[in-house]
Amino acid sequence: MHIDLRKAVEVSLEEDKAEDICVINLAGKSTIAEYMVIATGRSKRHLTSIADRLAERLKVAGISPIGVEGKGEADWILLDLGDVIVQLFRQEVREFYELERMWAAVLPETANT
């Protein structure tokens, strides 16, 4: 079964009420992935739930994360899905690291458009 991984990630994040979802196209700009998806959760528990539900939904489609980092602290959770990297932040941590600014040379594609 082939799925649009980026779209599946966006839909899962939206369903779990992630906020400020931002999709950055990395194609031709980085070798780490094709897309980076950044989103915010309201609390550590919310972030953990978003990450867990995303992994569960993808598992049903036959996709398992290559790696998951940060679930213990749950201020910043990274899911490496191969072609898509998912970065989940609490608001203050997202504001501190400003990943969107770091990747400013790559125009973001905003979800929910």
Which has the higher per-residue pLDDT, 34 or 110?
Answer: 34
Do the strands 19-25 and 76-80 form a parallel or antiparallel pair, or are they unpaired? Answer: unpaired
Name the domain count of the chain: 1
| Long-range residue pairs from 92-96, CB within 8 A, at least 24 positions apart, any chain | 94/20, 94/38, 94/40
pLDDT at 106: 47
Residue range 5-21, pLDDT digits in tens: 999 999 999 999 999 99
Residue type, 85: I
- Cβ-Cβ contacts under 8 Å for 7 (sequence gap 6 or more): none
**CATH number of the domain where residue 63 is located:** 3.30.460.10
- The count of other CB atoms within 10 Å of the CB of residue 17 is 12
pLDDT band, very low/low/confident/very high, at 102 (cuts 50, 70, 90): confident
Which residue segment(s) compose the domain that 104 sits in?
Answer: 5-110
